[in-house]
Amino acid sequence: MDKKIINRVKNEAKYILATKETLRNVAKKFSVSKSTVHKDISDRLYYISPKLAEKIRIILDEHLLTRHIKGGEKTKEKYQSLG
């Protein structure tokens, strides 16, 4: 694997650990697509650092469990601002 990719994956993982940001926000921060971040975090990180991958997996699982709540809150805010 290219050193540039390895560095990007590590930086993305460290950023997620520090901020607990979503993949979408990480993609914006690092100027790559959401699909690239997903591939980096889901696949590549495991081969680079399995322990770090486990820590990130916990954060991403937490995001999955709360996404329906966040979506509902955003919808509520949208309609309150219109009315």
User: Residue 43: is its pLDDT beyond 80?
Assistant: yes
Q: Give the H or E element holding residue 77.
A: helix 50-82
User: Residue 83: is its pLDDT beyond 80?
Assistant: no
Mind listing the pLDDT tens digit for each residue in 8-29?
999 999 999 999 999 999 999 9
Q: Which residue has the higher pLDDT, 68 or 52?
A: 52
Domain that holds residue 75: 3-82
Domains in the chain, number: 1
- Tokens representing 29 are 């921060």
Q: Confidence band (pLDDT; 50, 70, 90) for 55?
A: very high
CB atoms within 10 A of CB 67: 11
